[in-house]
Copies of this chain bind each other. A is one copy, B any other.
């Protein structure tokens, strides 16, 4: 048995500040159904989006380190805030493990539609400017970027009334897409609102997110697992397994039966 086969049979590690990254895990599973995944949600310290770059980097290195101790063959930083601020730090700390973020794939998805782009993201992601730079490298102009912190809280409160959701989404969209052809969802929490967002946009702009393009990039760059059966997922969280199961199902798109509590 050569070491390459051993590595190929290891799981892919995915981490996020909490449950939002489960929208990325869902896309990863769809693209690579035979792979095993280990997902770590840092629910004890979520959200990352309102915290400073230095703090997000520290948290991201701890989460990635935990995945590395589990022998993952790749790390997916399934959090826009962490991808935007901590990707180089994670790559430098773990040079032997391929690391994938969601910002470059998100920018690629937006660029694929052509025209101008508006960004809806967290405070940290907007402030850091990583999407702006990633789009600029692709010759795409970002006409507006807006932080939408309430949308993160809203995504984690499935019981919020429909008219509240519509009012908050409408408020964030107001003035955002007048001159944009594409609306880029730069936070993994936001895809759960894609239908409401598209309904309010009424065709004025195309909505894209990072999940599908991230999954395609990972799939193109890993040694695939040798087995033909469907892969398994292990879900871990740093706090609140019950809440993770209950609310996470909304992001993963399927019921969650088991969540392991871990320390990072």
- A residues contacting B by CB (< 8 A) are 43-46, 50-52, 55, 123, 149-150, 152-154, 156-157, 160-161, 163-164, 167-168, 171, 239-240, 243
Residue of B nearest to A123 (CB): B243
> In the complex, are the beta carbons of B240 and A52 less than 8 A apart?
yes
Q: A46-B50, A152-B153 are in contact. List 13 more A-B contacts (CB 8 A).
A: A43-B51, A45-B45, A50-B243, A52-B239, A149-B153, A149-B157, A150-B150, A150-B157, A150-B164, A153-B153, A160-B171, A163-B171, A167-B167
Residues from chain B with Cβ under 8 Å of A52 in the complex: 239-240
* Minimum CB distance partner of A154 in chain B: B150
Tell me how far the C-beta of A164 lies from the nearest C-beta in chain B, rounded to whole angstroms. Answer: 5
Distance (Å) between the CB of A231 and the closest chain B CB? 30
Could you write out 29 A-B pairs with CB less than 8 Å apart?
A44-B45, A44-B51, A44-B55, A45-B45, A46-B50, A50-B240, A50-B243, A52-B239, A52-B240, A55-B239, A55-B240, A123-B243, A149-B153, A149-B156, A149-B157, A150-B150, A150-B154, A150-B157, A150-B160, A150-B164, A152-B153, A153-B153, A160-B171, A161-B171, A163-B171, A164-B167, A164-B168, A164-B171, A167-B167
CA distance A171 to B160 in the complex (A): 8
Decide if B164 touches A240 in the complex (CB within 8 Å): no
Residue of B at shortest CB range from A239?
A: B55
| CA gap between A55 and B43 in the complex, in Å | 10
- A43: chain B residues at CB < 8 Å are 51
Using Cβ atoms and an 8 Å threshold, which residues of chain B touch A123? 243
Residues of B within 8 Å of A161, CB to CB, are 171
What separation, in Å, do the CA atoms of A92 and B167 have in the docked complex?
A: 46
